[in-house]
Each structure stands twice: as C-alpha cells, then as structure tokens.
Amino acid sequence: MIYSRSPYYVDINATSISNAQRYEMRLYIWKGNIAVIPTTPIYVFNNNLHDKQGVVNISNYINDFFTNQTSVFSNTNEIIYNNDVVYCRWEVDIITSTSTITNFITNGKYALNGYTLFIEGRNFTPSIDGDFYTTFAGNNFRVHDKFLIGVNAMNDDVVVTAYPSATILLSETIVSTNNTNSQSFYIALNNLSALNDKYIEVDIYGDKVYIELIKECKYEPIDVQFKNRYGVSQIVTFFKKTTKSINVTRSNFERKSYNRQLINYNTNGNEDIVLTSGYNKEEFNDIIEQLLLSENVWIRDKGTFIPYNIKSNKLSYKTKLNDKLISYEITFEQAFNLINNV
C-alpha cells in the first residue's frame, strides 16, 4: 500500500544494460477493476539516467485523485465499501544508444491518502492493528452513538455483538475482489446510544476489539470524523463541554453622506467550536496526534457531518504520571463561510 501524503519513490536501476541513457516511465492511476488498465497513462516521465539510475516520486500525482474527499455516513449498521482507494501502475522503458527495452520494469500498488513518519524511513508501509485500519486506544474505545471501523481487505466473517445482552448488531461476510473499492471496508455502527449494553465486541475471524458504550448525562457528546494516518475515516467522540463562537470579517469605506458615512461590505464569518474529550487512557494520545495531523475533518451536527478545519496548532501530550487524568481541549473552525458566496 502507498500512503500518498508521504513521498513514494520508484527506483529505476539499469546498471545491467549496456549503453543505457534514458528512461520513459508511464504512470496509470485509476479506480475500479485493477485488471482493466487504462489505455492512456495519466503522466509520462522522460528523463536522462544518472549512472544508469533514476528515481521518480509519484505521491503528488496520486494526491490529485484525493481532492474533495467526503465524510463516510450511514444511518444503519452495515458494511460500506471504501471508495477512497486508487490503484497505481507504472511501466518503465529503458532507451539505449541503439534500442528501446520495453517494460523493463512493471509494477503496481494500491494507494490511500495516508502518511508515514519521517523516522520510519523511505517507502515505509506501516503495519496495521490486526485487520483494522482504525487506531484504537489500547484494546478499548469509548463511543456514544456512532462509530466507524476501517477494515483491511479480506474474505472473512464479521460479527458485531453488544454485551451483556449478547445482541448481534451485524453479521456479514466481507468479500474482497479486484475492484479498488473492495480493498478496505468500513463497519458502520449507529444508534448505539439507544442500547442498554455496556460494550460491543467486533470479531473478524477471531481478531477482536472492544468498544465501550458511554452514557453522558450532562453534555451532548460530539462525534468528530477524520482521515487517520492510513487515509481511512475514523470517528472519535468528545464527551464533555462544547463552546461555540463566531468570527466575523468585513471591509469598509467612507463616503460623504449624512445618513451613513462608514459603509461595511464583504462581511462574512465562520464558527469556531471548542470540544473537550473527557477522560481517556494514555493510549488516546496517538489518536489525538493523528487528528491534529489530519487534513480532512468533519463534525457531526444535527445528524450530518459538516467540514471543519483544526485550528489548534499546538498541544502538550498528557500522561498518567504527570497529569493523572487525561483530557484534551481542541479548537476547530468551520471550513466554509456562513454567508454563501460561491
């Protein structure tokens, strides 16, 4: 898997070819059946070899396919195909002084709009937690009403059960195909606040995680959906205090008038919202880090996920040793103006 927010390098080594001078690399990127290769490449690279070697970073070209990402939404318990996966194929010809060696290199990989860490090194593929693309705080996760679980491609049975009632919320078989949208899936869980149970078990062929159901008596819990480090949507619930405010911008000019001398124009605004997580385990720090580094965030408001940007630019990690109780306060701003001007 390629995580396109970090560089991914295609290395071209033609040291075994006599008089190798140049390379032509054709890059194909598409969604759908990976066996059906587009007739025309998205990009073609023609460059000289240096010491019979070359390198191409293809991440920026993949990122062009991840613009205008939308939230994942469902009102029922179901399996949802992940439509944010693309397939990349590259073909490299080596041009010598006398001939062209066609398809000297051919390769292909799936790609998501995730990222790797600098300390992980070049072309790193991070391991996921068992079958899950979702980052969990230890083996337990705290939710109120709605949750998404990102799942790796497989052909396995999925069973979601609420306890202690042993009520089965979802039982289905995930089937992987050659289509890009079946390389990862979401398990969508909804209306969990209506349950009288304590926790949920998600079992994927013996790989289990547990989701703790929280009843909040004083505040209205707020669901925040974001693209995590794997480029997969995940929901984290903020259980405690919520504060909203409005930011207004305007221009003005002065005119000679006894009625209104100073005239405002281009007035618009957007809302800020400050959310408080409530108390969590120290492992929750990993989720907060991925949230702050996310470029795609939505907040659930009146049943709909609305696009927001994260306004908080700095946050101190909290630990049980130093802080005893771990709770975070994060500021978000609406990703649009209140007055429609587009």
Q: pLDDT per residue over 96-135, tens digit each?
A: 988 999 888 889 999 999 999 999 999 998 888 777 888 8
Integer Cα distance of 164 and 166 in angstroms: 5
Give the CA-trace dihedral at 253, 256, 261, 266, to 10 degrees. -30
Determine phi and psi for 237, rounding to 5 degrees: -100, 130
Integer Cα distance of 82 and 187 in angstroms: 10
The rounded radius of gyration (Å) of the Cα atoms in the chain is 25
What is the pLDDT, as a whole number, of residue 157? 87
Integer Cα distance of 5 and 99 in angstroms: 37
In the predicted model, is pLDDT for residue 320 greater than 70?
A: yes
* Domain boundaries 2-71+85-114, corresponding CATH code: 2.60.40
Nearest to 62 by CA among 90, 40, 35: 90
Pairing label, strands 304-310, 329-334: antiparallel
Peptide bond into 7 cis (omega under 30): no
What's the average model confidence in pLDDT over 196-225? 89
Span of 76-80, 154-158, 250-254 with lowest mean pLDDT: 154-158
Distance of CA 243 to the CA centre of its chain: 26
| Contact call for residues 250 and 264 (beta carbons, < 8 A) | yes
What is the pLDDT, as a whole number, of residue 51? 93
For the chain, percent of residues with pLDDT exceeding 90: 59
In the predicted model, is pLDDT for residue 58 greater than 70?
A: yes
Locate 239 and state its tokens.
């259980």
What is the pLDDT, as a whole number, of residue 281? 80
pLDDT band at 92 (very low <50, low <70, confident <90, very high): very high
What's the average model confidence in pLDDT over 136-165? 83
pTM of the model as a whole: 0.90
| Contact call for residues 112 and 231 (beta carbons, < 8 A) | yes
In the predicted model, is pLDDT for residue 138 greater than 70?
A: no
Integer Cα distance of 151 and 31 in angstroms: 19
Counting other chains too, the contacts that 20-23 makes at CB distance below 8 Å and 24 or more residues apart are 20/49, 20/52, 20/94, 20/95, 20/96, 21/48, 21/49, 21/95, 21/96, 21/97, 22/46, 22/47, 22/48, 22/49, 22/94, 22/95, 23/47, 23/49, 23/54, 23/92, 23/93, 23/94, 23/95, 23/104
Sequence ranges of the domains in the chain: 2-71+85-114
| Number of Cβ atoms within 10 Å of the Cβ of 4 | 25
What's the average model confidence in pLDDT over 255-277? 89
What's the average model confidence in pLDDT over 72-81? 88
Q: Where are the alpha helices (DSSP H) in 107-197?
A: none
Pairing label, strands 233-238, 140-143: unpaired
Amino acid identity for residue 52 in this structure: K
What is the pLDDT, as a whole number, of residue 181? 87
Distance of CA 260 to the CA centre of its chain: 50
pLDDT band at 56 (very low <50, low <70, confident <90, very high): very high
What's the average model confidence in pLDDT over 35-48? 95
In the predicted model, is pLDDT for residue 140 greater than 70?
A: no
Integer Cα distance of 200 and 146 in angstroms: 12
Mean pLDDT in the chain?
A: 90
In the predicted model, is pLDDT for residue 155 greater than 80?
A: no
| Contact call for residues 4 and 66 (beta carbons, < 8 A) | yes
| Contact call for residues 192 and 175 (beta carbons, < 8 A) | no
Diameter over CA atoms, the chain: 86
Nearest to 329 by CA among 294, 291, 277: 277
For the chain, percent of residues with pLDDT exceeding 70: 99
Residues 6+ apart with CB under 8 A from 165: 195, 196, 197
Integer Cα distance of 148 and 185 in angstroms: 10
What is the pLDDT, as a whole number, of residue 194? 85
Question: H-helix or E-strand containing 148?
Answer: strand 147-152
What is the pLDDT, as a whole number, of residue 276? 93
